[in-house]
């Protein structure tokens, strides 16, 4: 019978993490389970920053971006000796279950703790939507809203000056944020990691559009594919059209979570408690066709995220 559960947020923060913590705390308390918040992800677990949470602490956080528990990158957690200290800190407080909210890096940490005797459940939360075992991660839709609003603003100035605007979008190795924002933002072209092209090929695409009489262009590009500032100089030189690069950066991570993320996070948080109570461990939660599901963390880590990239890519090409 589970009496105490720990919760932490790890890796890149995402809007909706707070709603997930709230869902965990309220559901847990109702079932007579004590919930402990761990500060700053795996670093706080290692440093023993563990504090009991209550209903009041999680009041007024559902609408807040970021994570009130704090997050961190703590690569030292890859070393078993450090994880051993973390397990000892949990055991000292008789906490033998842990909910890890984060991306696939955090999933690895959770799986390793699971193998060391802590029952772990992970909840997918990252703006990048790059976690397998789920159609959507908490934070993805909020980031999309932020990006599309930024593209709308860039469009105003781009149209006034008849410019080419290159917009760099987050996502690491996953093009989902770029794909959906290109559709919703009415962009003229996109480049994503799943469909990389050289700067010469990109230039050919832009020249085609210029030939078709278009006067200004917004091109969205996933981060790490080019040096976008020098790409803008290259395109300006070759097209003779003013070209500007905008790196949206960390604004994409922040802000009030949209309704979809708050609801998704609340569902996933509550479900994490439910499945721990049923005796499951080493599981990651997902949403598949609008249904909340759970899968093995180990299996999810070993499989490539099967998403609908091709569908969205085909659609975006029809709309350019
Ligand atoms: P995300 O969870 O957003 O993908 P990271 O990849 O930075 O972010 O991972 C978050 C944290 O998970 C890391 O800082 C580290 O503490 C932990 N982690 C990542 N990889 C491992 C690993 N191989 N073993 C143990 N812990 C890991």
Report pLDDT for 304: 78
- CA of 77 from ligand 1 middle (Å) equals 8
Q: Which of 169, 216, 224 is nearest to 196 (CA)?
A: 224
Question: By the 8 A CB rule, do 51 and 63 touch?
Answer: no
69 and 39 in contact (C-beta within 8 Å)? yes
Rounded to an integer, the average pLDDT of 184-203 is: 95
User: What pLDDT, on a 0 to 100 scale, did the predictor assign at position 212?
Assistant: 84
What pLDDT score does 193 carry? Answer: 95
Mutate to test the pocket of ligand 1, among 41, 77, 129 (most ligand atoms within 8 A of CB): 77
CA of 105 to the centre of ligand 1 (A): 3
Asked if the model's pLDDT at residue 93 lies above 90, the reply is yes
Quick check: CB of 46 below 6 Å from ligand 1? no
With a 6 Å cutoff on the Cβ, whether 139 touches ligand 1 is no
Ligand 1 lined by 106 (C-beta under 6 Å):
yes
Mean pLDDT of 174-180: 96
CA of 108 from ligand 1 middle (Å) equals: 6
Matching residue, tokens 């066709």: 289
- The answer, yes or no, to whether any atom of ligand 1 lies below 6 A from the CB of 66, is no
In this prediction, residues 154-174 reach a mean pLDDT of 94
Share of the chain above pLDDT 70, in %: 100
pLDDT on residue 39: 98
Tell me, in angstroms, the distance from the centre of ligand 1 to residue 8's CA: 13
Give per-residue burial for 86-110: e unless 16+ CB within 10 Å, then b. Answer: bbebbeeeebbbbbbbbbbbbbbbb
Q: What is the pLDDT of residues 30-66, one digit of tens each?
A: 999 999 999 999 999 999 999 999 999 999 999 999 9
Q: What pLDDT sits at residue 320?
A: 83
Among 97, 104, 101, residue whose Cα is nearest residue 120: 97
Check residue 213 and give its pLDDT: 81
Q: Is 133 in the pocket of ligand 1 (CB under 6 A)?
A: no
Q: Is the CB of 73 under 6 A from ligand 1?
A: yes
Cβ pair 158, 186 in contact under 8 A: no
Closest CA to 7 of 106, 99, 93, 111: 99
pLDDT higher than 80, residue 306 = no
Cα–ligand 1 centroid distance for 307 (angstroms): 22
Cβ 86 vs Cβ 95: under 8 Å:
no
First to last CA, the chain: 56
The residues annotated as belonging to the active site are 128
In the three-class reduction of DSSP (H, G, I as helix; E, B as strand; rest coil), residue 299 is classed as: helix
Confidence at residue 104, expressed as pLDDT on a 0 to 100 scale: 94
Q: Could you report the per-residue pLDDT of 208-259, keeping only the tens digit for each? A: 988 888 888 999 999 999 999 999 999 999 999 999 999 999 999 999 999 9
Rounded-to-5 percentages of helix, strand, coil across the chain: 45, 20, 35
Residue of 36, 42, 32, 30 whose CA lies nearest to 57: 36
Query: Is the CB of residue 125 below 6 angstroms from any atom belonging to ligand 1?
Result: no
Which residue's CA lies nearest to atom 16 of ligand 1?
74
The finding on whether 80 has its CB within 6 A of some atom of ligand 1 is no
Residue 214: its pLDDT value, please? 80
pLDDT in tens, 133-161: 999 999 999 999 999 999 999 999 998 98
Atom of ligand 1 nearest to the CA of 131: 4
Ligand 1: residue whose CA is nearest its atom 26: 109
Tell whether the model's pLDDT for residue 305 goes beyond 80. no
Within 13 A of 172's CA, how many CA atoms are on the CB side? 10
73 CA: nearest ligand 1 atom? 14
């Amino acid at each position: 019978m589970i009496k105490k559960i720990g919760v932490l947020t790890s890796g890149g923060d995402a809007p909706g993490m707070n709603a997930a913590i709230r869902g965990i705390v309220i559901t847990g308390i109702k079932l007579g389970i004590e919930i402990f918040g761990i500060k700053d992800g795996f670093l706080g677990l290692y440093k023993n920053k563990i504090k009991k949470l209550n209903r009041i602490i999680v009041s007024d956080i559902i609408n807040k971006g970021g994570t009130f528990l704090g997050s961190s990158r703590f690569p030292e957690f890859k070393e078993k000796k450090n994880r051993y200290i973390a397990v000892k800190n949990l055991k000292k407080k008789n906490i033998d279950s842990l909910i890890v909210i984060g991306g696939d890096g955090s999933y690895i940490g959770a799986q390793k703790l699971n193998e060391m005797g802590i029952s772990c459940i992970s909840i997918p939360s990252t703006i990048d939507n790059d976690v397998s075992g789920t159609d959507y991660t908490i934070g993805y839709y909020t980031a999309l809203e932020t990006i599309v609003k930024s593209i709308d603003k860039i469009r105003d100035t781009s149209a006034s000056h008849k410019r080419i605007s290159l917009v760099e979008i987050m996502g690491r190795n996953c093009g989902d944020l770029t794909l959906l924002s290109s559709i919703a933002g009415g962009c003229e072209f996109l480049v994503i990691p799943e469909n990389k092209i050289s700067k010469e090929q990109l230039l050919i695409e832009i020249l085609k559009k210029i030939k078709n009489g278009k006067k200004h262009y917004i091109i969205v590009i996933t981060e790490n594919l080019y040096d976008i500032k020098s790409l803008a100089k290259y395109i300006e030189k070759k097209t003779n059209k003013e070209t500007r690069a905008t790196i949206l950066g960390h604004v994409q991570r922040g802000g009030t979570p949209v309704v979809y993320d708050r609801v998704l996070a609340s569902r996933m948080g509550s479900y994490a408690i439910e499945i721990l109570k049923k005796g499951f461990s080493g599981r990651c939660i997902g949403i598949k066709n609008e249904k909340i599901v759970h899968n093995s963390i180990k299996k999810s880590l070993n499989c490539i995220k099967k998403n609908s990239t091709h569908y969205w890519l085909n659609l975006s090409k029809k709309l350019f």
